[in-house]
Amino acid sequence: MTGRKAELAENLARVEERIAAACAAAGRKREDVTLIVVTKTYPASDVRLLHELGVRDVAENRDQDAAPKAAACADLDLRWHFVGQLQTNKVRSVTSYADVVQSVDRPKLVTALSAAAERGGRELGCLIQVALDAGSGERGERGGVAPDGIEELAAAVDAAPRLRLDGLMTVAPLAGPYAGRQRAAFDRLMDLSTVLRATRPAANMVSAGMSADLEDAVAAGATHVRIGTAVLGVRPRLG
Ligand SMILES: *Cc1c(COP(=O)(O)O)cnc(C)c1O
């Protein structure tokens, strides 16, 4: 193994141990939680090594970085998740490689994603990003729709050709009533997921938890955790 591959393997093993321990503590099965590795700011060569180490789900948050990386790894069986704030002028590009867009947060984006997916002849999974720091009708600091906007967006995705509603996503808020209370934030997301699943049982993905708070997310019931730093190292620049 190269030095980098050994380093990634060691980091992955440590994250795997944390997820397994969190599942055991919560009485959940390990296979009910999927690890998504957030490869933003790291090169395609790292994505390739991660694939060799068994990773199949990767995430990116900027189209400019993600598009060339996905192209360089097009020969690999990877699921690409887009987790960043998404401008409609980037939708066509994102739709060409992403399997799931986790940051759906406004009706205009739903329309654009659906049109692009139709044009590309692809089906696209969608998670509604929930902002737990936003007031009614507002968007959060880091994107996302306030909880009272979920139903409108879910209905829009339901009605949109080529889009599939897969569930909900959140980023633990830095401000507002949930600041510093990750577990409470993730519990709230689970409650919102329960409401959503009452009418849409297939929309059962709950994407929550990052390197610092994956235990809280698994305890709350997350089905997908998004881990960057703990696998790849501290990012060289903001991303
Ligand atoms: C960067 C990022 C992550 C991963 O964060 P780490 O703290 O590096 O694990 C997860 N989710 C989103 C939306 C991100 O942008």
Centroid of ligand 1 to alpha carbon of 171 (angstroms): 8
Largest CA distance in the chain: 52
The tens digit of pLDDT for each residue in 39-50 reads: 999 999 999 999
What residues does each domain of the chain span?
3-231
Query: What digits encode the pLDDT tens for the residues 102-153?
Result: 999 999 999 999 999 999 999 999 999 999 998 888 888 889 999 999 999 9
CA 228 to ligand 1 centroid distance, Å? 6
CA angle 167, 233, 74 (to 5 degrees): 60
Q: Ligand 1 centroid vs 136 CA: distance in angstroms?
A: 25
**CATH assignment, 3-231:** 3.20.20.10
**H-helix or E-strand containing 164?**
strand 163-170
Q: Is 227 in the pocket of ligand 1 (CB under 6 A)?
A: yes
Residue type for 60, please?
E
The rounded Å distance from CA 111 to ligand 1 centre is 26
Is 0.85 topped by the overall pTM? yes
Instruction: Give tens-digit pLDDT for 12-22.
Output: 999 999 999 99
pLDDT tier at 238 (50, 70, 90 boundaries)? low
Ligand 1 contact via 61 beta carbon (within 6 Å): yes
178 three-state secondary structure? coil
Q: Which two tokens stand for residue 95?
A: 């739709």
| 41 within ligand 1 shell (Cβ under 6 A) | no
Contact criterion met (CB below 8 Å) for 218 and 200: no
